[in-house]
Chain A
Amino acid sequence: EDQVTQSPEALRLQEGESSSLNCSYTVSGLRGLFWYRQDPGKGPEFLFTLYSAGEEKEKERLKATLTKKESFLHITAPKPEDSATYLCAVQERLAGFQKLVFGTGTRLLVSP
């Protein structure tokens, strides 16, 4: 069964203090790995899709990387507005439909 594990569960940073969030996964064949941002009381907002090991995607202060077993979301010089829960999801290659398996997320709090 597909499994997605995110760590840490919660992370507290000072503004400007860079760090990384981890998403480890076990699937029989990865079709894609997705990162989402979720603000309190809102739906998840799509950030990145990564398809193969070695791939990287960047958006402002965020950079997502992918290996064969895990993905990292690097946050460089974060600002308070980066505070949110970050969700990781994987899609298995053999899935007959667009099934995403989500992790439980990392709650990020950036203090000024």
Chain B
Amino acid sequence: DAGITQSPRYKITETGRQVTLMCHQTWSHSYMFWYRQDLGHGLRLIYYSAAADITDKGEVPDGYVVSRSKTENFPLTLESATRSQTSVYFCASSGQRGSYEQYFGPGTRLTVT
């Protein structure tokens, strides 16, 4: 089924471990985004990508790394997880520059113990 998918949907990890969240879209959208959603903060942009091999920081990038070797995939890596990174993570994508709405995946709930 076409769309945007995220995996895993739920993840529990320990402080200091590396964890990668996956995002895959089938629309061939140019833009992809990673957000985190926390109570009281709404959705905050972590990183975004305008195209394959082009990425840049958002509002809260510290502690995260991204890559985009293929248009359809945009993985987010927490290099050394901290408890403050416990959150729900959403991936989103957007098409042509003239179409600004973003379409979101189902989210990954990450708990760092």
Residue of B with least CB distance to A104: B42
For residue B32, give the distance in angstroms from its CB to the closest CB of chain A.
10
Contact residues, B78-113 vs A (CB, 8 A):
90, 92, 94, 97, 100-107
A34 vs B92: C-alpha distance in the bound complex, in angstroms? 14
A78 CB–B CB distance under 8 Å:
no
For residue A48, give the distance in angstroms from its CB to the closest CB of chain B.
9
Question: Are B104 and A44 in contact, with the CB atoms below 8 A?
Answer: yes
Question: Are B103 and A46 in contact, with the CB atoms below 8 A?
Answer: yes
Question: Are B43 and A44 in contact, with the CB atoms below 8 A?
Answer: yes
Given contacts A42-B107, A46-B101, contact A103 B48 (CB under 8 A): no
Give chain A's interface residue range (CB within 8 Å of chain B).
20 to 34
For residue B88, give the distance in angstroms from its CB to the closest CB of chain A.
9
B22 CB–A CB distance under 8 Å:
no
For residue A82, give the distance in angstroms from its CB to the closest CB of chain B.
19
Using Cβ atoms and an 8 Å threshold, which residues of chain A touch B48? 97-99
Question: Are B106 and A43 in contact, with the CB atoms below 8 A?
Answer: yes
Using Cβ atoms and an 8 Å threshold, which residues of chain B touch A44? 43, 90, 104
A105 vs B100: C-alpha distance in the bound complex, in angstroms? 20
Q: Which residues of B pack against A, CB within 8 Å?
A: 31, 33, 40-45, 48, 50, 56, 58, 90, 92, 94, 97, 100-107
Q: Which residues of A pack against B, CB within 8 Å?
A: 31-32, 34, 36, 41-46, 49, 87, 89, 91, 97-100, 102-105
